Chain A
Amino acid sequence: MATFLLRRLGAAVVLVFVIATMTFLLMSMTGGDPARNILGDGATVEQVAAKSAELGLDQPLAVRYADWLGAAITGDFGRSWFTNEPVMTSLANKFPVSLSVVVVAILVTALLSAILGVTAAVKRGWIDRFVQMFAVLGFALPNFWVALILVTVFAVNLKLLPATGFVPFATDPVRWLLGLILPVTALVVGTIASTAQQVRGATIDVLRQDYVRTLRSRGISHRSLLFRHVLRNAAPPALTVLSLQFVGLLGGAIIIEKIFALPGIGSLAVNATLQGDLPQILGLVVVMVVLVVIVNLVIDLLTGWLNPKARVS
């Protein structure tokens, strides 16, 4: 188990490094003149050159990369070109909001799609057809459109839930939760739809296995068979799907945050994109990838714990 863990950890570090490097090179090699971009058309050539020197853009690419990487390892992604705020500070301010949304969404997805998917696989009948139809619906409806409908119905017309705003958990847990209901609902419609479908498939696969029949022949109760044996064997593929959903949710949250005016990474990302704020975007990408890698690592460990075979391979 220790070697399994170490190997996964090593692969994760390599992955983060490669993506960070790729993003840096991609973003530094293309694009026109960032200094001109920042100062606007009115600036003189001298001003632009001075700005370039200030930002270190007159250095060769290799030097810039080495500088950036050296600092990034210590958690310093430099300062925003436009607000001059340290990138890490703004990320530290914004990420908790987005993570609130994404983590609650992934938990809700895991719980509901497990219930729906397993029930559909075991009972079949109408609930099975519902899960299948829901899968198409959830795929077809963009989550930001669902969010718009939810806002219109529940916030604008019925005035049941807040349309905008975020209250930190520490300030008021109840209002934190109320504020999350609509954004999370909008996000999970799609993820539950596809995850439940995958859980259903995985469960049906396990139910067809020979060992399930043999376990039944041993007189094991239906409950024990389902909750102990079937769920455990169906869990690894479902967990893999869940980790992919997490990646998707990080992107989805950016759009959803605009609708609910949540002060998360969404506005940060959009503004940095529109302005071409390189350090900000690089920091954002790296932190996101680190998050994704951590989640994948956790899922890998869970899979290894559930499935003894995965530990060796």
Chain B
Amino acid sequence: MSEAVIPAEALVPRLATGRQKLFRRVLKNPMAVVSLVILALVVLSAVFAGQITGWDPGRADLNDALAPPFGEHLLGADASGRDVLARLYFGARVSLVGALIALSTALAIGIPTGLIAGYFQGWFDSLSSWFASLLMAMPGLIVVLALISVIGPGMVGVMVTFGALLSPGVFRLTRSGVVSVRRELYIDAAKVSGLSDYRIISRHVLGVIRAPLVIQASMIAGIAIVLQAGLEFLGVGDSSTASWGQMLSEAFTNIYVAPTMILWPGLIIGITVGSLAIFGAALRDTVQGAEPVRRVRRRSLPVEEKATTRRLDLSTAATAAVIAPRDGGHEDLEPNDALLVVRDLRVGYPQQDGSETIVVDGVSLHVDRGEVLGLVGESGSGKSQTAFSILGLLPDTGAILGGAISFAGRTIASADGQARGAAALRGRQFGYIPQEPMSNLDPSFTLGFQLVEPMRHILGLSRPAAKTKALELLDRVGIADPRRTFDAYPHEVSGGMAQRVLIAGAVACDPELLIADEPTTALDVTVQAEVLDLLRGLQRERKMAMIMVTHNFGVVADICDRVAVMQAGRLVEQAEALELFDDPHNPYTRMLLSSTLEDTEPRAARSSHATSSRGTAR
């Protein structure tokens, strides 16, 4: 997924989020507003309880005992003849103050310890992390009960204890937030420019964890309200003042006489705690951004790569339209027996506001049997998206919006969604080699299992036969000790070995078309050449057609028969490889070529600096 283009607008608000902006964006979320209004009403009714109701919550009048609702008492009266509504108003005080105490305690313990542990690490980090997991293993209610037996049922003590028991959540959140931030370059910059630790923490670190902390806080407040009501319900709470839990407890005693009495306190607890939860969820959604955008971009990229992607976005790269492509949009040379034909392919990602982000626009190309086509372009040019469209493996949020793809004369994909043949061809006729070897192997299964499983499924081989074949394949792709590798898990082999295993997997069921998505980019320079040799050898001996997706003209020169150059979702030039090197027509191609070939060692061009140690390291 290195190529998915994400519209610039989707990134900008995230990067530029400030305190004011986040708050304003939260207020645009109707769920957040409704929950905040409800919470404000609960707080206000607790504060002004004495003013809104004329009833004294403690005044019992046996004549009114169990009076029905909507009479003199709006919500009726309880078994002792006390006004239910008044007791709800006043009970809110207990719940809110209790929640506040628990929350303050959790934050007061969790934030400083989390900051220190995450920022300075060392022994304090180990100790406090261990202590946090210890607290989390304690059954909270039992601990609180044990404590009440010693210190008595005073609310402050109980809620402080409970806050302490909930502090590990805050601690962990703060700590992990700090740990992730402290490696960022701007923290280093702040250190270099002489800012004190205190300034760095308060300026940069707290800013990052603010939103997650508010979410966590709303959860803690909710849990605290429920727990306190639970203690009151058990009868071990502070019974001197009206509270929601106490009301539930009394309603329970009269459950056979007046069953509706249990409704009101439960509902008010549910509404209050629910509002806290909804507010937390709304805030989380606001911070994380809308779903579809997140799904297109799976992993956050380093900042500089984001910049590249943004620059190459269709809307900004208008140059593509101006330049007339040599063979670009048309397939004049398409022979009748072409193995794969892509015609006018258009791929896009529908956005929330109804617009579409087009990542591939009108691409037409073909691959003959036994031919190697290079698909070249910068990051974000749409070459990987083209490859995934052929494989039928676009993300759920992406779709083929125009054009058609056919394989061996049969249409396998079209815009109307009628033709869906790619699934049946995957593994059988299509082999796929990904870019990043380590993330493309299932960490929970042995390499051998991941080779054997498709062979059993597709070729119908028995387990021993598939294993024999897998060992042969591992030997063929140049693995020194196939048996050992067969039994190894992905984390036990090097990147270069993992890529060889993936190549073995791609050719295992004798596909006719191999699609390699930057197969050497993530590898060490010395390994790159070997893997490329291996691919060329396999392609020739099995007479496979191949699409080599790459940004590297060194790779193209090494292995490709023909080249298609893509820029910003469009095909700008298509030619025989030698012809293209001799006489590139398109200025963009010339630019790409010169940026690659100026280096004396073409193959090492771009990746050498980025991945110098990978491949051999475990």
Using CB atoms and an 8 Å cutoff, list the residues of chain A in contact with chain B: 15, 18-19, 23, 26-27, 30-31, 132, 135-137, 139-142, 144-145, 148-149, 151-152, 156-157, 208-211, 213-221, 224, 228-229, 232-233, 244, 247-248, 250-252, 254-255, 258-259, 269-270, 272-278, 281-282, 284-285, 288-289, 292-293, 296, 306-309, 312
Task: State the CA gap A251–B440 with chains docked (Å).
Answer: 42
Structural contact, A142 and B269, CB atoms closer than 8 A: yes
Closest residue of A by beta carbon distance from B443: A309
Supposing A285-B142, A289-B139 touch, asked if A136 and B274 sit within 8 A by C-beta, the answer is yes
Supposing A142-B269, A149-B262, A233-B444 touch, asked if A217 and B139 sit within 8 A by C-beta, the answer is no
Q: Chain B's nearest CB lies how many Å from the CB of A295? A: 9
Task: State the CA gap A250–B137 with chains docked (Å).
Answer: 12
Task: State the CA gap A56–B277 with chains docked (Å).
Answer: 49
Closest residue of B by beta carbon distance from A141: B270
Q: Chain B's nearest CB lies how many Å from the CB of A62? A: 19
Task: State the CA gap A259–B458 with chains docked (Å).
Answer: 57
Query: Interface residue tally of chain B, by bracket?
Result: 35 or more
B256 proximity list for chain A (CB < 8 A):
156
Q: Does B90 contact A (CB under 8 A)?
A: no
Task: State the CA gap A289–B391 with chains docked (Å).
Answer: 52
Q: Does B235 contact A (CB under 8 A)?
A: yes
Q: Does B432 contact A (CB under 8 A)?
A: yes
Task: State the CA gap A247–B271 with chains docked (Å).
Answer: 25
B139 proximity list for chain A (CB < 8 A):
247, 250-251, 285, 288-289, 292
Structural contact, A233 and B393, CB atoms closer than 8 A: no
B295 proximity list for chain A (CB < 8 A):
208
B146 proximity list for chain A (CB < 8 A):
23, 26-27, 273, 281-282, 284-285
A247 proximity list for chain B (CB < 8 A):
136-140
Task: State the CA gap A135–B281 with chains docked (Å).
Answer: 10
Task: State the CA gap A147–B142 with chains docked (Å).
Answer: 20
Q: Does B615 contact A (CB under 8 A)?
A: no
Structural contact, B491 and A148, CB atoms closer than 8 A: no
Supposing A270-B236, A278-B149 touch, asked if A217 and B229 sit within 8 A by C-beta, the answer is no
Q: Chain A's nearest CB lies how many Å from the CB of B253? A: 11
Further pairs besides A210-B439, A214-B502, A229-B442: 6, Cβ < 8 Å = A137-B274, A220-B454, A220-B457, A224-B457, A250-B142, A252-B141
Q: Does B259 contact A (CB under 8 A)?
A: yes
Q: Chain B's nearest CB lies how many Å from the CB of A296? A: 6
Structural contact, B142 and A269, CB atoms closer than 8 A: yes
Q: Chain B's nearest CB lies how many Å from the CB of A284? A: 6
Structural contact, B151 and A219, CB atoms closer than 8 A: no
A228 proximity list for chain B (CB < 8 A):
453
Closest residue of A by beta carbon distance from B508: A218
Interface positions of B from 127 to 186, Cβ below 8 Å from A: 134, 136-143, 145-151
Q: Chain A's nearest CB lies how many Å from the CB of B228? A: 10
Structural contact, B273 and A148, CB atoms closer than 8 A: no
A-B pairs with lowest CB-CB distance, top 9: A219-B427, A251-B141, A140-B274, A217-B432, A145-B266, A218-B454, A31-B150, A210-B439, A140-B273
Q: Does B509 contact A (CB under 8 A)?
A: yes
Task: State the CA gap A211–B251 with chains docked (Å).
Answer: 55
A141 proximity list for chain B (CB < 8 A):
266, 269-270, 273-274
Which one of A31, A219, A233 contacts B443 once the chains associate, using CB atoms below 8 Å? A233
Structural contact, B236 and A142, CB atoms closer than 8 A: no
Structural contact, B141 and A254, CB atoms closer than 8 A: yes
Structural contact, A140 and B147, CB atoms closer than 8 A: no
Q: Does B234 contact A (CB under 8 A)?
A: yes
Task: State the CA gap A31–B230 with chains docked (Å).
Answer: 24
Task: State the CA gap A132–B281 with chains docked (Å).
Answer: 10
Structural contact, B236 and A214, CB atoms closer than 8 A: no
A278 proximity list for chain B (CB < 8 A):
149
Task: State the CA gap A224–B298 with chains docked (Å).
Answer: 23
- Residues 466-484 of B, flagged 1 when their CB comes within 8 A of A and 0 if not, give 0000000000000000000
Structural contact, B274 and A139, CB atoms closer than 8 A: yes
Structural contact, A139 and B277, CB atoms closer than 8 A: yes
A215 proximity list for chain B (CB < 8 A):
442, 450
Structural contact, B458 and A19, CB atoms closer than 8 A: no
Q: Is the interface of B mostly helix, strand, loop or mixed?
A: helix
Structural contact, A214 and B278, CB atoms closer than 8 A: no
Q: Does B328 contact A (CB under 8 A)?
A: no
Supposing A152-B262, A247-B140 touch, asked if A274 and B236 sit within 8 A by C-beta, the answer is yes
Task: State the CA gap A309–B270 with chains docked (Å).
Answer: 41
Structural contact, A229 and B445, CB atoms closer than 8 A: yes
B150 proximity list for chain A (CB < 8 A):
26-27, 30-31, 276
B149 proximity list for chain A (CB < 8 A):
27, 31, 272-278, 281
B457 proximity list for chain A (CB < 8 A):
219-221, 224
Task: State the CA gap A227–B376 with chains docked (Å).
Answer: 37
Q: Chain B's nearest CB lies how many Å from the CB of A36? A: 14
Q: Chain A's nearest CB lies how many Å from the CB of B20? A: 28
Which one of B134, B233, B430 contacts A144 once the chains associate, using CB atoms below 8 Å? B233
Q: Does B426 contact A (CB under 8 A)?
A: yes
- Residues 433-468 of B, flagged 1 when their CB comes within 8 A of A and 0 if not, give 010100111111100001001100110000000000
Structural contact, B234 and A217, CB atoms closer than 8 A: no
Task: State the CA gap A224–B458 with chains docked (Å).
Answer: 13
Which one of A209, A244, A309 contacts B439 once the chains associate, using CB atoms below 8 Å? A209
A273 proximity list for chain B (CB < 8 A):
145-146, 148-149, 236
Q: Chain B's nearest CB lies how many Å from the CB of A122? A: 10
A269 proximity list for chain B (CB < 8 A):
142, 145
Q: Does B255 contact A (CB under 8 A)?
A: yes
A23 proximity list for chain B (CB < 8 A):
143, 146
Task: State the CA gap A221–B137 with chains docked (Å).
Answer: 40
Structural contact, B270 and A140, CB atoms closer than 8 A: yes
B147 proximity list for chain A (CB < 8 A):
26
- Residues 77-111 of B, flagged 1 when their CB comes within 8 A of A and 0 if not, give 00000000000000000000000000000000000
Closest residue of B by beta carbon distance from A278: B149
Q: Does B226 contact A (CB under 8 A)?
A: yes
Which one of A139, A217, A306, A307 contacts B393 once the chains associate, using CB atoms below 8 Å? A217
Q: Does B222 contact A (CB under 8 A)?
A: yes
Structural contact, A255 and B151, CB atoms closer than 8 A: no
A289 proximity list for chain B (CB < 8 A):
137-139
Q: Chain A's nearest CB lies how many Å from the CB of B166? A: 12
Q: Does B114 contact A (CB under 8 A)?
A: no
A220 proximity list for chain B (CB < 8 A):
427, 453-454, 457
Closest residue of A by beta carbon distance from B225: A142
B581 proximity list for chain A (CB < 8 A):
none
Which of B146, B147, B458, B502 has the most chain A CB atoms closer than 10 A to its own CB? B146
A252 proximity list for chain B (CB < 8 A):
141
Structural contact, B443 and A308, CB atoms closer than 8 A: yes
Task: State the CA gap A309–B393 with chains docked (Å).
Answer: 28
Which one of B226, B235, B439 contacts A270 once the chains associate, using CB atoms below 8 Å? B235
Q: Does B55 contact A (CB under 8 A)?
A: no
Supposing A233-B443, A309-B489 touch, asked if A144 and B259 sit within 8 A by C-beta, the answer is no
Q: Does B1 contact A (CB under 8 A)?
A: yes
Task: State the CA gap A255–B270 with chains docked (Å).
Answer: 17
B432 proximity list for chain A (CB < 8 A):
214, 217-218
Structural contact, A218 and B273, CB atoms closer than 8 A: no
A312 proximity list for chain B (CB < 8 A):
491
Supposing A15-B137, A149-B262 touch, asked if A254 and B255 sit within 8 A by C-beta, the answer is no
Q: Chain B's nearest CB lies how many Å from the CB of A265? A: 9
Task: State the CA gap A272–B141 with chains docked (Å).
Answer: 14
A218 proximity list for chain B (CB < 8 A):
426-427, 432, 453-454, 505-506, 508
Task: State the CA gap A277–B146 with chains docked (Å).
Answer: 9
Which one of A31, A210, A308 contacts B491 once the chains associate, using CB atoms below 8 Å? A308
